[in-house]
A and B are shown apart, each in its own frame.
Chain A
Amino acid sequence: MACPVLREDERLWQLPPLTPILFPGTGCGWKEETGRGVASMMRAREKKVFAMAECPNKQQLGVYYDRQLDTAAQHAVEAHLASCGDCQREVAALAQISQLLDASPVPVFAGAVQCRLHASAPAIVDRPLRRMAWIVDAIAASILVATSTYMITRSSPASANPQAVVAPPWASLSRSGDSDTLLAGNPVAQWYLADASGRGEDAP
């Protein structure tokens, strides 16, 4: 939006005309009569943009409000603001937002928070050590499991010769059918079997 601005310094806008010249080796280029390059002249134009009849954009007003423009641009916006009601209102709104934010409760770094923070320090300092200990533990456990598995696999007769599995002593009894013969020579076994048989009969 256009606003009626009093030009503080009309001479600023009377930039020297651009004259096309040929730069050796580059083909062509533009150069200011004063001898300055195009880039420096464009920067100069940018700095003076705020003194133009048009308002600076709102983003630039925010930068001005935060005092983050360079000195020349800051002064140029100030000069513009002196006569532009729209931009004055824009800057006033920015100030109001800052005031609202400033009025929000300030977080208090209470003693309890400080104590808890300091209490966490040893854990923070020890954390790398604990991590290292955990890694060592994990490696040791892996080695133990791998070694155990290897030893079991290697010592197992089944893996070496499946035929050479050692049968338990009672296997031969069930196969041979000579259990009565063996029981005859073992009174404890006879008593156990009799007792077990009796219980089986009593069962409903």
Chain B
Amino acid sequence: MRDSEDADLLRRSVGDEAAFHQLMDRHGPRLYGLAVRLVGNAADAEDVLQETFAAVFRTGRQFRGQASVATWLTRILVIQAAVARRARKRWRKEADPELAMAPEAENAGQVTAKRIDVQVALGQLSEEHRQVLVLREFAKLSYEEIASVLGVPRGTVESRLHRARGEMRTKLAVYLTE
């Protein structure tokens, strides 16, 4: 039901600004949360979100309904986040997770060192590992949905997820109890 409503909204949003705003309200919060996890800070996440909706507006007519609208939007967001991360790396020459996490780290009085370390560890993952971990752990997508979003076979999702968790386990070993 929600899928068909979303699909209808998406088709209308290409020419109807009110429908476009409705689509933003409906999917904006979820996509924003994912964007922050993917790019590592709120400012870049906001840009990524805007670019995602710009791409949705441009390519909305190409939606064929093979996946749900939510999955399709997530796919666009992941692509835009990857573009943003690449651009940021180009500017900074080298990714600096500490800097990338700075906006969140400002609230260090409220969040524990553990939380910051988790974010830093997430930021240090490679693009592929980070994508798959965020989509599984935060978006709670199934393996098939992740495969659809990333455009890779299910087996690749399994192996990337395994490696990503292995990396996180190494980085956060001090917080894990045997």
Partner of A109, one of B32, B57, B169: B32
- Look across to chain A and name the residue whose beta carbon is closest to the beta carbon of B119: A104
Q: Is B99 an interface position by the 8 A CB rule?
A: no
Q: Is A203 an interface position by the 8 A CB rule?
A: no
Contact mask for chain B residues 136-178; partner A; CB cutoff 8 A; 1 contact, 0 none: 1110001100000000000000110110011011001001111
Q: Is B104 an interface position by the 8 A CB rule?
A: yes
Bound CA span A66–B141, Å: 10
Bound CA span A190–B21, Å: 80
Interface residues on B, range: 35 or more
Bound CA span A121–B22, Å: 11
Are A114 and B28 CB-contacts (below 8 A) given A100-B114, A101-B138, A125-B17? Answer: yes
Instruction: Given contact pairs A59-B162, A103-B115, A120-B53, enumerate 17 new A-B contacts (beta carbons under 8 Å).
Output: A58-B166, A62-B162, A62-B165, A66-B136, A96-B175, A100-B175, A101-B168, A103-B114, A105-B111, A105-B119, A106-B33, A107-B35, A121-B21, A124-B53, A125-B20, A125-B57, A127-B57
Q: Is B98 an interface position by the 8 A CB rule?
A: no
Contact mask for chain A residues 114-140; partner B; CB cutoff 8 A; 1 contact, 0 none: 101110111011011000000000000
- Look across to chain A and name the residue whose beta carbon is closest to the beta carbon of B55: A124
Q: Is B45 an interface position by the 8 A CB rule?
A: yes
Tell whether, in the assembled complex, residue B169 and residue A63 are in contact, meaning their CB atoms are under 8 Å apart. no
Bound CA span A120–B107, Å: 28
Within 8 A of B (CB), among A76-128: 89, 93-94, 96-98, 100-107, 109, 113-114, 116-118, 120-122, 124-125, 127-128
Which chain A residues border B17 with CB–CB below 8 Å?
A: 121-122, 125
Q: Is A156 an interface position by the 8 A CB rule?
A: no
Bound CA span A114–B33, Å: 12
Q: Is B70 an interface position by the 8 A CB rule?
A: no
Tell whether, in the assembled complex, residue A118 and residue B46 are in contact, meaning their CB atoms are under 8 Å apart. no
Tell whether, in the assembled complex, residue A59 and residue B159 are in contact, meaning their CB atoms are under 8 Å apart. yes
Minimum Cβ distance to chain A for residue B7 (Å): 20
Q: Is B68 an interface position by the 8 A CB rule?
A: no
Tell whether, in the assembled complex, residue A117 and residue B115 are in contact, meaning their CB atoms are under 8 Å apart. no
Q: Is B49 an interface position by the 8 A CB rule?
A: yes
Tell whether, in the assembled complex, residue A96 and residue B53 are in contact, meaning their CB atoms are under 8 Å apart. no
Minimum Cβ distance to chain A for residue B66 (Å): 21
Tell whether, in the assembled complex, residue B169 and residue A97 are in contact, meaning their CB atoms are under 8 Å apart. yes
- Looking at A58, A121, A125, which has the most chain B CB atoms within 10 Å of its CB? A121
Q: Is B84 an interface position by the 8 A CB rule?
A: no
- Looking at A59, A101, A106, which has the most chain B CB atoms within 10 Å of its CB? A101
**29 residue pairs A–B, Cβ–Cβ below 8 Å:** A58-B162, A59-B162, A66-B143, A96-B177, A97-B165, A97-B172, A100-B118, A100-B172, A101-B137, A101-B168, A102-B137, A106-B33, A107-B33, A107-B36, A107-B37, A107-B42, A113-B46, A113-B49, A114-B28, A116-B46, A117-B28, A120-B50, A121-B53, A124-B50, A125-B17, A125-B20, A127-B54, A127-B58, A128-B58
